[in-house]
Amino acid sequence: MNILHLDSAITGDASVSRKLTADIVAKLKASHPNASVTYRDLAKGVPAIDGTWVEATRGTAGDASSAHATVVATSDAYLKEVQDADVLVIGMPIYNFAIGAPLKSWIDQIARTGISFRYTEAGPEGLLTGKRAIVAYSASGTPIGSELDHASAYIRFILGFFGITDVEFVAADRLVFDRDASLARASADLEKLAA
């Protein structure tokens, strides 16, 4: 088993989602001692896509410059980690009712036509199939699945768009109101996960 462990919280050691992702990975490793783990801290910086990225990844720039090569190499590295993974463990703290910029930038980096998805006459087809995603959802006051939550449906949709349809959540979602109860619910979600 290959595990891709992604954290994206900007709050460092105080992050609940980072604790949850670590617990999820530990549970997976306990059941699969030989599993390999690739770790990436997205909060350390994921380049935002821009015009150069579009030119470089779509081959519309004519002669490729060293800047284009660097942009493609960065995007390819993120994609290879996903392609090689059997399980993605994604830390998704909620900021202002949605996913944070580091995670969104990572999604933008791996959204590559012909690699992570393609368009067919029948509609879009995800190309990153056969993978499982476990999302550690943490929020001060945004209950998962509520009308305030603009993150969980989006992450389920975009992963499905890429072909990753087995998506589960471990949620600590009302931390500011009742931290202990929120963490207890997350712990119960974690216990229910098949390792």
Per-residue model confidence as pLDDT tens digits over 136-183: 999 999 999 999 999 999 999 999 999 999 999 999 999 999 999 999
How confident is the model at residue 116, as a pLDDT?
97
Using pLDDT thresholds of 50, 70 and 90, give the confidence band for residue 58: confident
Per-residue pLDDT, averaged over 72-95, amounts to: 97
Helix, strand, coil content of the chain in percent (nearest 5)? 45, 25, 35
Q: What is the pLDDT of residue 60?
A: 62
Q: Give percent above pLDDT 90 in the chain.
A: 87
Q: Does 9 have pLDDT greater than 60?
A: yes
Q: Is 16 annotated as a binding residue?
A: yes
Split into its structural domains, the chain has a count of 1
Q: Kindly report the average pLDDT of the chain as a whole number.
A: 94
pLDDT given for residue 66 in this prediction: 80
Q: What is the DSSP letter of 11?
A: S
For residue 62, what pLDDT is reported?
58
Q: What is the CATH number of the domain that holds 179?
A: 3.40.50.360
Is 189 a residue whose pLDDT tops 70? yes
Q: Which residues contact 74 (CB under 8 A, 6 or more apart)?
A: 47, 109
Residue, of 76 and 62, whose pLDDT is higher: 76
Question: Whole-angstrom Cα distance, residue 111 to residue 132?
Answer: 18
Q: Which domain holds residue 125?
A: 2-192
